[in-house]
Amino acid sequence: MTKINDLFGKEVAVINLGLASMAKSVSDQNVKVFDLDWQPPRDGTPRLHRTKSGINIDEANQEVVDRIKRGQAVLIGMGLAKDVIPGMHKRMILHAGPPIEWKRMCGPTRGAVMGALIYEGLAKDEQEAEKLAASGEIEYSPCHHHHAVGPMAGVVSPSMPVWILENKAFGNKAYCTLNEGLGKVLRYGGMGPEVYARLKWMETDLYPTLDRALGTLPNGIDIKSLIAQALHMGDECHNRNRAATSLFLRAISPALARTNQDNEVLAKVIEFIDRNDHFFLNLSMPAGKAMLEAAEGVPGSTIVTVMARNGTDFGMRLSSMPERWFTAPAGVVQGLYFPQYTEKDANPDIGDSTITETAGYGGMAMAAAPAITQFVGGTPQMAMQNTLEMYEITFAEHQNLTIPALDFRGTPLGIDVRKVMETGILPRINTGIAHKDPGVGMVGAGILRAPEKCFQDAFKAIQEM
């Protein structure tokens, strides 16, 4: 058989469109193959201009993205979940993603629920916690049903301190716990004495220290502004929050110094923040929630206002149908694993942190964060390509969130179900990876796409709207 290179009389390279396996016979001949991530265009997907009821969809979508852009997410205070989150009570546990009952919960969510019950003093050990969790005495509810968001398992229990953000343009609020750091932590399903001790310290030391400082800042801290600045400093504010964490510390430190006389506690609080580049994630997320919730409820819109995963299901909601979850099985994350782990250890995609992509940053803004590829895998070129691709499925560009490397172009904003269906391009998400078993914790970070089924179902619902 004639070899490819012999045929051409020189060394060639091949671009492969379609399945990677198609090019195997070529790569077997030591010919360099570039696999292009490509699908044939959908034919037959109609561009919807009006709903059945006659609403102009572009006008509805314009209203949605205008509201998101006008959003002003400001950190205004803190409180304990049971005191401040609407609907929260002593036997309620909030979780990430769409609704789910105990028996369908994935390992890390179970671990986080059990850990939270022990932290709350409702169970003395894991065995007791598991029994209580399954007993029916605990009410489970999605964070998103309470104006809240939670990273990974997203578990919020009554005694946990939470950030309170207000969308100053619309007056609505959003809530999120404080970030625990990396490694063995509750949100990744981690259990054990060090996990509970850290949560307790966050309740008794971190929270009051930060709360005292915040109390002296009459205008709060403008989180949207910090996100915009961080996008100029190599963050995308989902999986890279190093600049934003730094800017947050700069913003609060003078007030921290003025309001806290116990200098050793103050030093420990600053160290806790300094040692966790993801500290800002739990501010970036409720900022997105606060800005998106104000854009919910616009009839006729095809814009996504919630994407969230509970580790079992991926769930999505639209501005025009804010109460309805479109769900599909949560996807598998392609990523970089910590040394002792592999893809076999990974739980499917989990967490509410996809609120960032929904709000126009996170994966949407990867072009602003080339160094993130050291954490989630891939290359800086891929990060750039990721953002460029997302312009294909979004309705607008966010003029307040700009990407220097793209000549200060606004980030892709407002995932439009119509465009997803027309192009076959699914939103890309970058995320942390939890161990599939309860009690272990984080095992890596990576990238995946949202499941197509949610968009297919949503598109059908839109056609009936």
- Considering the complex, state which of residue 126 and residue 277 has its C-beta at the smaller distance from a second copy: 277
Burial zone of 275 (CB within 10 Å; 0-12 exposed, 13-18 middle, 19+ buried)? exposed
Q: Rounded to the nearest whole angstrom, what is the least distance from the CB of residue 376 to a second copy in the complex?
A: 13
Task: Return the biggest CA–CA distance within the chain.
Answer: 82
Q: Count the residues in the chain.
A: 465
Nearer to a second copy, 76 or 405 (CB): 405
Could you tell me the smallest distance in angstroms from the CB atom of residue 228 to a second copy?
11
Question: Measured from the CB atom, is 231 or 390 closer to a second copy?
Answer: 231
Q: How far is the CB of 86 from a second copy (least distance, A)?
A: 35
User: Which C-beta is closer to a second copy: that of 64 or that of 251?
Assistant: 251
Task: State the minimum distance, in angstroms, from the CB of residue 361 to a second copy.
Answer: 15
Which residues contact a second copy by CB under 8 A?
Answer: 232-235, 242-243, 246-247, 249-251, 253-255, 257-258, 260-261, 263-264, 266-268, 270-271, 274, 370-371, 373, 379-381, 404-408
Nearer CB in complex with a second copy: 215/404 = 404
Q: Sign of torsion, CA 226 232 237 240?
A: negative
Residue 231 beta carbon to a second copy: minimum distance, rounded to whole angstroms: 9
CB of 184 to a second copy, least distance (A): 23
Choice between 204 and 379, CB closer to a second copy = 379
Q: Which residues contact 152 (CB under 8 A, 6 or more apart)?
A: 96, 108, 112, 187, 188, 189, 350, 351, 353, 432, 434
Nearer to a second copy, 207 or 248 (CB): 248
Nearer to a second copy, 225 or 260 (CB): 260
Closest contact distance (angstroms) between CB of 265 and a second copy is 9
Task: Tell the smallest beta-carbon distance from residue 229 to a second copy (Å).
Answer: 8
